[in-house]
Amino acid sequence: MPQTFMTAKRRSLFPFLLAAALVSPLPAGAAAVSVKIDNFTFNPPELTIAPGDTVTWTNGDDIPHTVVGVDKSFKSKPLDSDDKFSFTFKEPGQYDYFCSIHPHMTGKIIVRTP
Amino acid sequence: MTHDETELGGVSRRGALECMLWAGSAVVWTVSGGVPSSISLAKAATLAEQKPFSFLQLSDSHVGFDKPANPDALGTLREAVARIKSLPTQPSFFIHTGDITHLSKDSQFDDADQVLKELNAPIFYVPGEHDIVDEEPGKAYLARYGKGTKGAGWRSFDENGVHFIGCVNVVDLKAGGLGNLGEAQLAWLADDLRGLSSSTPIVVFAHIPLWTVYPEWGWGTQDSAQALELLKRFGSVTVLNGHIHQVMQKVEGAVTFHTARSTAFPQPAPGTAPSPGPMKTPPGALRTYLGVTELNFVRGGEPLAIVDSALAS
């Protein structure tokens, strides 16, 4: 009986998922990309991603850093060593960001529909 | 490239660094001078009200820091306080030029306060960028140290005929920029100085250096020139900073710039490492890189004496 139930559920969901994939502006597989903070530098300093992708910053330094959008659309807490911060970029555009503790540290995320 | 070549390369590229003194592993060094002879012309006016006194600068305690460069920053602050208490003459008061804590946590401020209250004398603080990374930036700092200050925590006060100005240059920093005083603070500074005689000795203290030490690492204040313009009519100006965790000095006209050691961990000399991150020292050497700065005013108008003392020789 459980088998029948699952099959039924899958059947009922399938048209909906198909429609969502066709209508949604998000790519079928939103990617997870990472930026490493090392030696007071964002690596890579510039990153091009697709709408819906999630960027995760990891602090590899022995000193805290932050990740703050110049337009204030995203802002991390202070990241101590090995702390992470993730943000999903939904809207296309160019997002300049910096470390508010060490403002000479700057980076850029370009969100572009492939 | 060797360490030395990197350092020399950095210096030759930047003439501004030429007249700086580098603190290597020197234990104690004294700077007498740096105040030009023009002070003697103005001296008579202030002599009567100036008594010999000293104050002491602490900086960059980074309470809460526990990384390999110094696993116990609270412990080394405690050692610094113990050394100060063993001085034959106790300073009249203290200034702390910021980065009291590492992450602006209440527990870190509590630990710092617990150790520093042993000094039993007034402490005048300015914040470092590490002291204002709480959820509402600067709220925790101002709740503790903001009494009697304006704006983000700037203030002035007079002691023994010397005018002291504590500036805040770690707030509202812009992407790609340096330290920042801001329009409101500069307007306040102009107003604060307006009534003073040019013979009044001035001491300015702030966290980030008020001269451009090394912009590649953010070691400078973008609008400091406007502050120095307001100070240029004074015969004796001493500018005390922290932030760079090493002793560095520069004299420009009547202005002496001086940075103090950290009590927590050293940072590399400009351009000698890939980044300004905490510098690991050879085993047993950490305390020769940490310390405090004592400043003495002597009756008779002798130049301000600046003495940097390391925690260990």
Q: Closest to A106 (Cβ–Cβ): which among B175, B274, B275?
A: B175
ipTM above 0.90, yes or no: no
Q: Closest to A62 (Cβ–Cβ): which among B216, B217, B278?
A: B278
- What pLDDT shows up at residue B160? 87
Q: Which domains does chain B have, with CATH numbers?
A: 3-310 (3.60.21.10)
**Chain A residues whose beta carbon lies within 8 Å of the beta carbon of residue B173:** 100, 103
Q: What range does the domain containing A65 cover?
A: 28-111
- Helices B183-194 and B224-231: crossing angle in degrees, nearest 10, is 10
Supply the CATH number for residue A106's domain: 2.60.40.420
Q: Do B176 and A106 touch (CB under 8 A)?
A: yes
In the predicted structure, residue B149 carries a pLDDT above the cut 80: yes
- What pLDDT shows up at residue B115? 98
Q: Closest to B174 (Cβ–Cβ): which among A80, A102, A103?
A: A103
**Chain B residues whose beta carbon lies within 8 Å of the beta carbon of residue A80:** 103
Give backbone dihedrals phi and psi of B141, rounded to 5 degrees, phi first: -60, -50
B132 to chain A, minimum CA–CA distance in Å?
9
The one-letter code for the residue type at A106 is T
- What pLDDT shows up at residue A92? 97
Q: Is B24 exposed, middle or buried (0-12, 13-18, 19+ CB in 10 A)?
A: exposed
Q: Closest to A78 (Cβ–Cβ): which among B67, B133, B276?
A: B133
**Chain A residues whose beta carbon lies within 8 Å of the beta carbon of residue B264:** none
Is residue A51 assigned to a domain? yes
- Tell me the DSSP string of A59-101: E-SSS-B--EETTSS-BPPPB-TT-EEEEE--S-EEEEEE-SS
Q: Is the Cβ–Cβ distance between B51 and B160 less than 8 Å?
A: yes
Number of domain units in chain A: 1
- What pLDDT shows up at residue B131? 98
In the predicted structure, residue B201 carries a pLDDT above the cut 80: yes
Number of residues that make up chain A:
114
- pLDDT tens digits, residue range A37-92? 999 999 999 999 999 999 999 999 999 999 999 999 999 999 999 999 999 999 99
- Among chain A, residues having any CB pair with chain B shorter than 8 Å are 39-41, 61-64, 66, 70, 77-78, 80-81, 96-98, 100-104, 106
**Chain A residues whose beta carbon lies within 8 Å of the beta carbon of residue B69:** 62
Asked if residue A65 belongs to a known ligand binding site, the reply is yes
Is residue A102 assigned to a domain? yes
**Three-class secondary structure of residue A24 per DSSP:** coil
**Band of the pLDDT at B307, cuts 50, 70, 90?**
confident
Residue B136 sits at the chain A interface (C-beta within 8 Å): no
Is residue A94 assigned to a domain? yes
Q: Do A41 and B104 touch (CB under 8 A)?
A: no
Is residue A9 assigned to a domain? no
CA distance B196 to B203: 13
Size of interface A-B (CB pairs under 8 A): 58
**Three-class secondary structure of residue A2 per DSSP:** helix
Percent of chain A residues topping a pLDDT of 90:
73
- What pLDDT shows up at residue B209? 98
Is residue A21 assigned to a domain? no
Q: Do A64 and B68 touch (CB under 8 A)?
A: no
Residue B10 sits at the chain A interface (C-beta within 8 Å): no
**Band of the pLDDT at B305, cuts 50, 70, 90?**
confident
Which residues have a Cβ under 8 Å from the Cβ of B53 and sit 6 or more positions away? B92, B159, B160, B296, B297
- What pLDDT shows up at residue B17? 27
- What pLDDT shows up at residue A28? 55
Is residue A7 assigned to a domain? no
Quote the mean pLDDT of chain B.
84
How far is C-alpha B154 from the chain's CA centre? 14
CA distance B309 to B313: 9
B300/B87: higher pLDDT = B87
**Chain A residues whose beta carbon lies within 8 Å of the beta carbon of residue B175:** 70, 96-98, 103, 106
A67 to chain B, minimum CA–CA distance in Å?
11
- pLDDT tens digits, residue range B155-168? 999 998 899 999 99
Is residue A12 assigned to a domain? no
Which residue from A minimizes the CA distance to B129? A101
Is residue A82 assigned to a domain? yes
